[in-house]
Structure 1
C-alpha cells in the first residue's frame, strides 16, 4: 500500500513539474505586457500620432508655404533650408514607421482574424493615409522593405514615389469593400471604442477613403495621364458637408493630452503669421475685398493693426518699433514669450482643437480645379462656391457676412470669368493653419508660380545649401536614415546637401 502511494505521489509530482515547466517557458504571456493586443486599443494612438506628426512637421513646412514665419531674421527654414544632423522635420516619418508601424500591422491582423471588417477597413485606410502623407513630403520612401523581419537585415531600400502612390490606391480599394460590410463582428459601438476621429461611423470613413483617392489622383495633374473625371467622381463619393470633416479632438487638460498647437503645449510662440496670408485677407490680393475671416484666423497687433512677417525677415525688436506694433503669435501673445496661464487661443490654435485632417471645403476646391482643367466652368464655379461657403461656416463667419462676401464679383465671378488662381488662393486660405501638406503639394505642382499663387514670393535669398533652388521635399529622418541607413540613402541621392531641392515625382510631367 505504501509502495502504491509512493508511486502515485511521484507521478503526481512529475506531472506538476511538467505543467509548471510549461508555464515557466511560456514567457510571452505577460498580462502586464501582452504580445497580442486587440484592434480597439491600437487605433486611437495611431490616429492621434498621425495628427501630431502633421502638427510637429508643420512648424517647418508652415514656413516653406508661408503660413507663418520665424521671429528670427535669416531663419534657415524661412529660407527653404533645413537643420543638418537633426530630426526636425522627421516627426511624421517617426510616427508612420515607429508609432504606427507594427501596431498598425497588428491591428489589421487582429481585425482580419476576428472578422472585425470595420476595423480592417479603417486599418487599411490608415495605412494608405500614412504612406500618402509620408511620400508627399519626403518623395521616395521605404515601402516594400519597411517592416522586413529579417534580424540580419541592416539596409532598407527606398521605393519610388510612383510605387507609393500605387500602393495607396491599392490599399484604399481594398479598404472600401470592408467598410461596406455589416456582417461578422462589425459594430459601430465596438469601432467607437478605438476611433476618436469618427466615433465608429463607417460611412464617414468610406467617404474619407474616397477623399484620399481624390487627393492621390489630383496630385498627378502635371502628368499626361491625369483624369479630371476620376478626380471629380472620387470627390462626389467623398464628403457631403462640413459634418464629414475629419477632425482630431484633444482633451486639452494638460501638456499630455492637449493639441500640439494649443498654448498649453507652448510650441508656436516663435512663429508669426505671414504677410502673404494677411494680403490674401486684407484686400491687397483680392482687390479691395476685406475677407470676413481676417479676425477669425489672424491676430492683430496690440494697436489693432494686422501685420505679417516675410520669409527671413524676422520680427524687429528695434526701439523705434513699439511692442504694440509688433506681430504676435497665433495665441495673440508676444513672439518668443511663453504664453501666460489662461491663454486660450482661437481657431485651430486651442488646447482642445479640434485639428482638421481633411475637410469638405478642401475637397470641393480639388473638384473645382479638376473641373476647370476639364473645361467645365459651371461645375468648377459651383464647387468653388461650395468650398468658400463651407470654410466661411467652419471659421465661424456670420451668415450676413458670408452673403456680403460671396456677393462680391472679385470673390465669386460669373462661371466664364473664374480663374485658376482664384481657385488655388481660396483653397490656400481654407487650408491655412492645418492643411500644410496639401498646400505644399499645390505649390510644388505649380512650381511656386506667382501667376497661380498671386502675391506669393519666395525668399529673396535661399539657404546656402539650396544652390539657388526652393525646397521640394523634406529630408528623411536623420536618426533612422542618416545614422543607420546611409547606403540606401546614397542610392537615391539622399546624401547630397541639396537633396531637399530635388523635385518629387508627382510634380513632374
Structure 2
C-alpha cells in the first residue's frame, strides 16, 4: 500500500512540475479493472489534494495576499493571469475520475461508504473549480459509465451549486447505510479518518455548510440551513479533513509549501512564495474593528521574526524585497518553516475552526448575535489549540478582545463580520476558500482593515478600485471546447463577478 501511495504522489509531482498536457481522457488513467475498490480511496484523497486543491491554491495564495514572491514581476501577486492555469486540467483528468470511479464501484459492490467518500471528494473538487471559474461542466462531466465527452456543455454556476449540494446530500445518505460489504479502511487507504464513518459524514456536512454559506449575497441565502449543516458537521478538535504529508519522504511526499516540497520555489533567488505579506502580518498585530495593537500568539508559530531586530514584517505584493532578496530577505517573514509550511504540515480541506466561523456568520446574519459571538470564540480558540497555543495565552487573547469591545461589536453586522473574517483569514492560511470570503466581502477595508490594498505594479487591465473576481479557463479547454467556454479573455474573466458574487 505504501508503494501505491508513493506512486500516486510521484505522479502528482511530475504532473505539477511539468504541466504536461494530458488530453486523452478517453483512456481511463485509473484502470478500474486492475485496482480494486479498497485500494482506490488513497488515490482519490491524494488526487483531490495534490492535483486539485494544491493546484487551485498555488496562485490564489498570492491573490489572497497571504504570500509574496520577493520579485516585483511575479504574475500571481500582480494578477497577470493567462489561460496557462492547470487547476482545470488536473481536476478533470486526475481528481474527478478517481472520485467518480470509486462512487460507481462502491455502489456496484455493495460498499456505499466508498461511494459516499467519492461523492464527498467529488463535490469538493467541483466546488473549488466553480468558485474560481464560474460555469463549469458537471452534468456532462466524466460519470464513470458513459464515454467521456471532449466537448461537454457547461452548467451555470447556479446549477453547479445545486448539484454540489445534491452530491453532498447523496454522500450523507450513503454514509448512513448500515450494510457495507467493504470497510472504508480495508486496505489502509483511509489516510484521513482510518475508516471512521462518522467523521466522513461530518466532513460532508461541513462542506454543505460552506457552500450554502457562500450564497450570502443571494436572495436564496438561508442562514438556518447553514446553521443546521454546521450542527451536523465537526463538533470538536481532531476532526479536521486534511491531507497527511509523510515524514522522511521524498519531495513529492512533503508539504508543497515547505522548503522540501518543490512546488513553491522556482529558484533560490526568485521563489514563488518567499514571504508572508505585510497585510497578513498586520492582521496578526492588530485587533478587528478598532485596529488597536494586539499581537496574536500564533504569529511566532506561523512565521519567524527578523533575526536582525526580532520584528515580524512582510512584503508588499508586487514590490519585491527592498534591496533584493540576498541582501534583505531575512528581514521578512519567510513562508517556509512555520506551522503550515513544514514538510509534514497537513493541508486541510476543511476544519472544525472553519465550521465555527461559518456558524458564527450565519448566526450573525440571522440576528442571533449571542450565538454568533459564542461560535466565533470557539473558532478562534479551536485554531489556536490546533497550532499549540497555551491555554492561558488563549484566555488572555480573548480577554483583550473583550476589553476591546468584541461583545458590542457583534451587535453590528459589519463589525461582527470584521471579527469573523479576519480571524477566519488567519485560520485558513493558504486555503483557496479565503478568496471566496474576500470576494463575498467585496475586499472591504471595513471588514479586513486599512492594510487591505491592491498590489503595486498591478496588471494594467484593472482600473482604479477594481479587484480580481475570477480565473481564466485553461487554454486546452478553450481550444478543444471553445464554443462552450465562451469569452475567455483576461479582461472579461478576471474582472467579471461570479454568480454568487452578485446581489439579487
Whether TM exceeds 0.5 here: the answer is yes
Structure 2 residue aligned with 1:138, among 113, 133, 142?
A: 133
Distance in 1 separating the partners of 2:96 and 2:417: 39
Distance in 2 separating the partners of 1:313 and 1:96: 32
1:505 aligns with 2:499: yes
Q: How does 1:168-179 map to 2 (within 5 A)?
A: 168-179=164-175
Alignment partner, residue 72 of structure 1: 71
Distance in 2 separating the partners of 1:77 and 1:162: 27
Q: Please, which runs of 5 or more residues in structure 1 have no aligned partner?
A: 1-31, 332-344
Q: Superposition RMSD on alpha carbons, in Å?
A: 2.4
Alignment partner, residue 3 of structure 1: none
Distance in 1 separating the partners of 2:148 and 2:55: 33
Deviations, residues 192-234 of structure 1 (Å, cap 9, x unaligned)? 6322111111100100111111011100011122111111111
Where 1:251 maps in the other structure, the secondary structure is coil
Alignment partner, residue 123 of structure 1: 118
Distance in 1 separating the partners of 2:210 and 2:400: 29
Deviations, residues 298-350 of structure 1 (Å, cap 9, x unaligned)? 2222312211111211112359x95376325322xxxxxxxxxxxxx231211
Deviations, residues 39-69 of structure 1 (Å, cap 9, x unaligned)? 2222212211222232233231011110011
1:476 aligns with 2:479: no
1:255 aligns with 2:251: yes
Deviations, residues 233-289 of structure 1 (Å, cap 9, x unaligned)? 111110011211112101241113222122212333422101011001123764121
Deviations, residues 77-117 of structure 1 (Å, cap 9, x unaligned)? 222221x3523xx23x2332111233333211211111101
C-alpha spacing 1:323/1:383, structure 2 compared with 1 (3 Å): same
C-alpha spacing 1:176/1:244, structure 2 compared with 1 (3 Å): same
Structure 2 residue aligned with 1:297, among 299, 302, 307?
A: 302
Deviation at residue 189 of structure 1 after TM alignment = 4.1
Maintained 8 Å contact 1:38/1:107: no
C-alpha spacing 1:34/1:358, structure 2 compared with 1 (3 Å): closer
Query: Which protein is bigger by CA-based radius of gyration?
Result: 1
Structure 1 residue aligned with 2:100, among 84, 89, 105?
A: 105
Q: How does 1:91-490 map to 2 (within 5 A)?
A: 91=87, 93-147=88-142, 154-190=150-186, 193-252=188-247, 253-269=249-265, 270=271, 271=273, 272-283=275-286, 286-303=291-308, 304-317=310-323, 322-323=327-328, 326-331=331-336, 345-409=337-401, 413=405, 415-418=407-410, 419-433=416-430, 435=431, 437-455=432-450, 456-460=452-456, 462-468=458-464, 469-478=466-475, 480-490=476-486
1:48 aligns with 2:46: yes
Q: TM-score, normalised by structure 1?
A: 0.83
Deviations, residues 364-384 of structure 1 (Å, cap 9, x unaligned)? 011111111111111001000
Maintained 8 Å contact 2:184/2:190: no
Where 2:76 maps in the other structure, the secondary structure is coil
Maintained 8 Å contact 1:39/1:194: no
Deviation at residue 503 of structure 1 after TM alignment = 0.3
Q: Which moved more, 1:49-58 or 1:124-133?
A: 49-58
Distance in 2 separating the partners of 1:141 and 1:185: 34
Q: Please, which runs of 5 or more residues in structure 2 have no aligned partner?
A: 1-29, 266-270, 411-415
Distance in 2 separating the partners of 1:362 and 1:245: 9
Distance in 2 separating the partners of 1:172 and 1:412: 40
Q: Which moved more, 1:223-232 or 1:385-394?
A: 223-232
Distance in 2 separating the partners of 1:181 and 1:218: 27
Where 1:247 maps in the other structure, the secondary structure is strand
C-alpha spacing 1:400/1:472, structure 2 compared with 1 (3 Å): same
Maintained 8 Å contact 2:304/2:338: no
Where 1:356 maps in the other structure, the secondary structure is strand
Where 1:442 maps in the other structure, the secondary structure is helix
Deviation at residue 188 of structure 1 after TM alignment = 4.7
Distance in 1 separating the partners of 2:331 and 2:480: 44
Distance in 1 separating the partners of 2:296 and 2:407: 21
Maintained 8 Å contact 1:55/1:261: no
Distance in 2 separating the partners of 1:277 and 1:296: 14
Count residues in correspondence. Answer: 454
Distance in 2 separating the partners of 1:213 and 1:127: 13
C-alpha spacing 1:317/1:508, structure 2 compared with 1 (3 Å): same
Q: Which moved more, 1:276-285 or 1:194-203?
A: 276-285
Deviation at residue 36 of structure 1 after TM alignment = 4.9
Distance in 2 separating the partners of 1:136 and 1:76: 20
Q: How does 1:79-94 map to 2 (within 5 A)?
A: 79-82=78-81, 84-87=82-85, 90-91=86-87, 93-94=88-89
